[in-house]
Amino acid sequence: MSQPAPQKALTAAEIRARKGGAPLVCLTAYTTPIARLADAHCDLVLVGDSVGMVLHGLPSTLPVTLEMMILHGQSVARGLERALMVVDMPFGSYEESPAQAFLNAARIMAETGAGAVKLEGGRHMAETIRFLVDRGIPVMAHIGLTPQSVNALGGYRVQGKGDDAERIRDDAQAVTDAGAFSVVLEKVPAALADQITAEITIPTIGIGASAGCDGQILVIDDMLGLFDAFKPKFVKRYAHLAADAAEAIRTYAEEVRARAFPAPEHVFTDEGAK
């Protein structure tokens, strides 16, 4: 199998150096065409394990496999030139031990050309983050609502309310001290996100957090309006492509049934058409 070209892109170190600067623009991507579109405008593109729900129809991110992440990482890499590509480590690929995490992270990096990996968890994952960073693997951390732990958290609830805020602050400091180059803050109160952003020395990337974070990330299918049934509070729909696609498919079906498509300009003749 041919390997993707090495990243000619922003590095994790360059993203970290953007702390306190111009906001970092981040989106997910899972395919080459979408990666090309995102690359023109984004600083960081995440191959998220959300691919399981978005493209594969899975009920959560938990069934996503390492092979799935590598396949989609390879696809996204072909569409990027500038943005840093980060690949999610799926559930079960890093929690057992730092050594397990290194073996799987190294495989992701080698087989996709990723510039970094992302893993979920705060203080309890700090040892693993340090282990990876010390061995040359840049790590983006992810705290607050961590979807891989949704069963333990009791659902997709806001994290860090009231007395629980101290736990999230502690997690943020722990992943910073462990060497993460940035940290995703998901579904935490805005005031807490602002406090963490001021306290730690690495960029915070908000999703359902605060405009005061050092950057923002959304699942691209959410912001493009490719889902009609479910819209998290923190998502802004910048397009409504599901409705546009449904209308296009309806029109196509009508034209096929009426034999209006293909029209003469869409078919070939014996008169030299190519």
The catalytic residues are: 186
Q: For residue 254, say whether it is annotated as part of any ligand binding site.
A: no
Q: For residue 199, say whether it is annotated as part of any ligand binding site.
A: no
Q: For residue 118, say whether it is annotated as part of any ligand binding site.
A: yes
Q: For residue 95, say whether it is annotated as part of any ligand binding site.
A: no
CA distance between the termini of the chain: 34
Q: For residue 88, say whether it is annotated as part of any ligand binding site.
A: yes
Binding residues for Mg(2+): 49, 88, 120
Binding residues: 49-50, 88, 118, 120
Binding residues for 3-methyl-2-oxobutanoate: 49-50, 88, 118
